[in-house]
Amino acid sequence: MREMIITNNPLVVEKYSERVLFIDGSVEQVLIKVRDMVHRKHGLISHPLPASLRVLFSPYRSVIIGRNNGDINPLQVEIVENSILKYKKHMDVREVDKENNEDYQMIDLTLLESALKDEQVNSMLSGY
């Protein structure tokens, strides 16, 4: 398997069951799993953070992880570590928005699918 989705979003599990590593927990736990994988030489395919604060308050997050590259990528380590720090900093003073679970699941899925589409183009270009 070339890439894997680390997620706590049930909607993503339903649709991509064969490519999912399900985390039965919080967004923070998803990010920590992603960090561990990056430290174990897996590539970081999609950015761990969303593009706005509002989506940062989402209870769901899906991140795409690549194959084991055989090397640790320092840029990717920095990105994932910074993302966790930033996430925790915000959530120290906020609460996860649980009122809109279904909408957050749907948005997380559509943003993930944008990334998957982009990756397909890239994988075709790079020949694997």
> Which residues contribute to the site for other proteins (CB under 8 A)?
44-58, 64, 76, 78-79, 82-83, 86, 89-90, 93-95, 97, 99-100, 102-104, 106-107, 110-111, 113-115, 118-119, 122
Output the smallest distance, CB 17 to other proteins, in A: 21
Closer CB to other proteins, 39 or 89, in the complex: 89
User: Tokens 């399900």 appear where?
Assistant: 22
Q: Which is nearer to other proteins, 14 or 78 (CB)?
A: 78
Q: CB 66 → other proteins: shortest distance, Å? A: 9
CB closer to other proteins out of 20 and 79: 79
User: Which tokens sit at 110?
Assistant: 């559509």
CB of 21 to other proteins, least distance (A): 18
Q: Position of tokens 């909607």?
A: 11
Q: Which two tokens stand for residue 59?
A: 């209870």
Burial class (CB in 10 A: 0-12, 13-18, 19+), 122: exposed
Tokens at residue 24, please?
A: 């039965």
Distance CA 25, CA 120 (A): 28
Enumerate the β-bridge partners of residue 62: 7
CA dist., res. 120 & res. 100, Å (int): 30
Min separation Cβ 103 and other proteins, Å? 4
